[in-house]
A and B are shown apart, each in its own frame.
Chain A
Amino acid sequence: MIDIDIKKELHGADGKMLLDINLHIKKSEFIAISGESGSGKSTLLRVLAGLEKADGKIVVGDEVWLDKYISLAPQKRKIGFVFQDYALFSNMTILDNLLFVKKDIELAKYLLYVTELIELKDRFPESLSGGQKQRVSLCRALMNRPKLLLMDEPLSALDPVMRMKLQNEILTLHREFNITTIMVSHDPSEIYRLANRVVVLNLGKIINIGTPKEILLKTSGSQKFSFEGELLDIVRVDVIYIAIIAIGQQIVEIVISKQEKNRLKIGDTIRVSTKAFSPNIC
């Protein structure tokens, strides 16, 4: 549905670099773009939005957005864009932020209702929390029923609880509106929860592409799972030792041997992995 084949010279931290992306996206797909900072992720989104120039081709459905002769203005691309810093219109109320995009009061109220913002509709963006602002931004991006929704690290400024809540809302809205979505994200759990496919960029090139499972599972050899976490405590229960470890937002307990106990100290960063059903710590 979307064919992207673009080239653009970038001036990164390590001098010149060529953003060279060739990607085919199917309708209603949810693509996550990941990669180190400076790898060209945001630029790719901006090129897709028409906010930056590039050489090459972008074809969306039967519409050419970019080729040798055409470069459609952002106004004509029918996209939704969610910025990392929300970028709400601070002179307008929440409802007006949505209606500015399109005078569709039904849709605006529906979106605010789904995202539990309807009570705040007459407030100004300044008085909202980060999570609320980003939900407004998401609603606003959906107001013109875009063909393509672009999100540039939409949740990276939010706390974990708010992230999770917004991830669910994004997922709900994505299913409902069926919008092809491209999201830049660094958060593996977010990518796993939301995306069908992950594109990993490095220095402007795609270095890996596949399902979140294929790309994100950081296991090697016969390991079935592997997490990084922080050792919070070691307690002795009868003859065994139990390590209490914070992995992401979760606290888990894992049985360890006496030798392992002696090697570890509280506060260590450790990797928890398992082969079959026997977890071990290293």
Chain B
Amino acid sequence: MDSLDFSPFWLSFKLATLTTIILFIISLPLAWYLSQTKSRIKPIFEAITALPIVLPPSVLGFYILVGLSQNSPIGSFLKDSFDIELIFNFSGLVVASCVYSMPFMVQPLQSGFESLNRDMLEASYIAGKSQIVTIFRVALPNIKPALLTATIITFAHTVGEFGVVLMVGGNIPNETKVASVAIYEMVETMDYSSAHIYSAIMVIISFIVLLLVYLFNNRERFP
């Protein structure tokens, strides 16, 4: 018990926080575009963003690994131009997590935007406001439950990821050894008591987070 190392949790939450922030920034315009467009290519975008839900994490992890390795054009370009390596380090995990968790951010935001009264958005345009002002002043404040769901589920999903992390990051303490990987390692080394504690902490935290989301969403719906 004394030797229990909490750094994997810290790493998991750091990874999840960064992923959530980055994904929010990327997904906001994407979700908005998908919710507003009548373009015929919309289903293609939707299918691509939904892919990580259906693909086994190992497949996703494998492609990310191959794609970012220095043998690939992207990997070698990043290495040669910016001296960035994204395999078996924390930055690589962030990139992989963003790919893996993207649907969990995009889809709630998109359906939130789609549920908005279109006239309300048009009223904002007619009032002379740009799309950006409309998104931040009108659209987002009116989809708070969707916004909360998107960020929390993205966060939780990233904390819970395992396969992709293992493929892309490996198991390097304080770099890529997140909580889920640490638990796997404990089980492998038959350290069941530590695995129990780690797992229990994960269950409790996840439950509390989800409970808060549902409490908030219920209050928004039935004030």
Question: Which A residues form the contact surface with B (CB < 8 A)?
Answer: 49, 51, 73-81, 83, 85, 87-91, 100-102, 140, 143-144
B119 touching A87 by the CB < 8 A rule?
Answer: yes
B47 to chain A, nearest CB (A): 27
CB neighbours (8 Å) of B120 from chain A are: 87-90
**Assuming A89-B138, A143-B127, what are 7 further A-B pairs, CB within 8 angstroms?**
A49-B122, A75-B125, A83-B123, A89-B142, A91-B141, A100-B124, A100-B129
Contact partner of B129 (CB less than 8 A), chosen from A49, A75, A81, A88, is A75
User: Are A101 and B127 CB-contacts (below 8 A) given A85-B117, A87-B119?
Assistant: yes
Residues 37-85 of B contacting A (Cβ, < 8 Å): none
Interface size counted on chain B using CB atoms at 8 A: 16
State the CA gap A91–B130 with chains docked (Å). 18
Interface string of B116-142 (1 = CB under 8 A from A): 010110111111111000000110011
Least distance between B143 CB and chain A CB atoms (Å):
10
Out of B123, B125, B138, B142, which one reaches A73, CB within 8 Å?
B125
Contacts of A79 in B (CB 8 A): 126
Which residue of B119, B129, B137 contacts A85 across the interface (Cβ within 8 Å)?
B119
CA distance A91 to B220 in the complex (A): 12
Contacts of A102 on B, CB cut-off 8 Å? 127
Asked if A144 and B138 make an inter-chain contact with CB atoms under 8 angstroms apart, the answer reads no
| Chain A binding surface SS class | loop
Contact B122 A74 (CB under 8 A): yes
A74-B126 contact in complex given A85-B117, A89-B120, A90-B142, C-beta closer than 8 Å = yes
The residues of B with any CB-CB pair to A shorter than 8 Å are 117, 119-120, 122-130, 137-138, 141-142
Asked if B142 and A81 make an inter-chain contact with CB atoms under 8 angstroms apart, the answer reads no
A101's partner among B117, B128, B130 (CB-CB below 8 A) is: B128
Distance from B125 Cβ to chain A, minimum over Cβ atoms (Å): 4
B144 nearest in chain A by CB position: A91
**Can you name 22 A-B pairs with beta carbons within 8 Å?**
A74-B122, A74-B126, A75-B126, A75-B128, A75-B129, A75-B130, A76-B128, A79-B126, A81-B123, A83-B119, A85-B119, A87-B117, A87-B123, A89-B120, A89-B123, A91-B141, A91-B142, A100-B124, A100-B127, A101-B127, A101-B128, A140-B123
Q: Give A144 to B123 CA distance when docked, in angstroms.
A: 12
A49 pairs with B138, CB closer than 8 A? no
Determine if A51 and B122 form an interchain contact, defined as CB atoms under 8 angstroms apart: yes
Task: Chain A residues near B128: list those with CB within 8 A.
Answer: 75-76, 78, 101, 144
Which residues of the other chain, B, contact A87 by a CB distance below 8 angstroms? 117, 119-120, 122-123
Cβ–Cβ < 8 Å partners of B137 in chain A: 89, 100
Asked if A91 and B138 make an inter-chain contact with CB atoms under 8 angstroms apart, the answer reads yes
The contact of B126 among A80, A89, A91, by CB within 8 Å, is A80
Task: Pick the residue among B117, B126, B141, B142 that contacts A49 (CB under 8 A).
Answer: B126
Please, which residues of chain B bring their CB within 8 A of the CB of A100? 124, 127, 129, 137
B119 touches A89 (CB 8 A): no
Closest CB in chain B relative to A104 CB, distance in Å: 12
- The chain B residue sitting closest to A86, CB to CB, is B119
Closest chain B CB from A90 CB (angstroms)? 6
CA distance A144 to B126 in the complex (A): 10
